[in-house]
Amino acid sequence: MLNVSVVLPVYNEESCIEQFLASMVNFLRSQGNACKFQLILVDDGSLDTSFTKILNTFDILGFEPLKRTSNPLINTYRSESVVLERSYRSNNIKVLCLKLRTNKGQTWATREGLRYTEESDLIATMDSDGQHPLPVLMDMIHLSKAYSAVCARQIQRRDNFTKAIMSTSTT
């Protein structure tokens, strides 16, 4: 069975994070025991209630909170940037929620999350706002059997006007 870690940077996503996480968990549960999943959510110093909503969502979805000592990687790789962490488990899904002290950007948050991937056969990164269709994750997992690296790029994005202008000007 493959161990797949998914790193999800979060910044000011209070309006959509609960729906996204419920969709993600339901999707992963629907995959049966195809893989063991580790979700690593890294709140990049959000100024809203994103982190609280993340924790509440995993409680509502029936995840079991784990004690800090249950995840030795937290103690091994603890960063000065991380101010709060919580771990959860439900069947084949483990979750690590990290709260960073301040906003340092998506790349920094992703890097912090990558430090906590444990015994992963595969690592994926995704946005936490629902921009990436979840079935693509399984497509990428299947493709990884034939390739050493797999990347995906959206053909059509659902961005607001400002984000659309910024993303086209940087690509």
CATH code where residue 147 lies: 3.90.550
Q: What is the pLDDT along the chain (171 residues), one digit of tens a residue?
A: 889 999 999 999 999 999 999 999 999 999 988 899 999 999 999 999 999 999 999 999 999 998 764 445 554 455 667 777 788 889 899 999 999 989 999 999 999 999 888 778 999 999 998 888 899 999 999 999 898 888 877 676 565 655 555 445 444
Q: How far apart are CA 112 and CA 57, in angstroms?
A: 22
Decide: helix, strand or coil at residue 93.
Answer: strand
Show Cβ contacts of residue 155 under 8 Å, excluding neighbours closer than 6 positions: none
- State which residues form the domain around 30: 2-169
In terms of Cβ atoms closer than 10 Å to its own Cβ (0-12, 13-18, 19+), residue 28 is: buried
**Backbone torsions φ then ψ of 46, nearest 5 degrees:** -55, 145
Q: Which amino acid is at 166?
A: M
**Domains of the chain: total:** 1
Look up residue 123 and give its two tokens: 């690592």
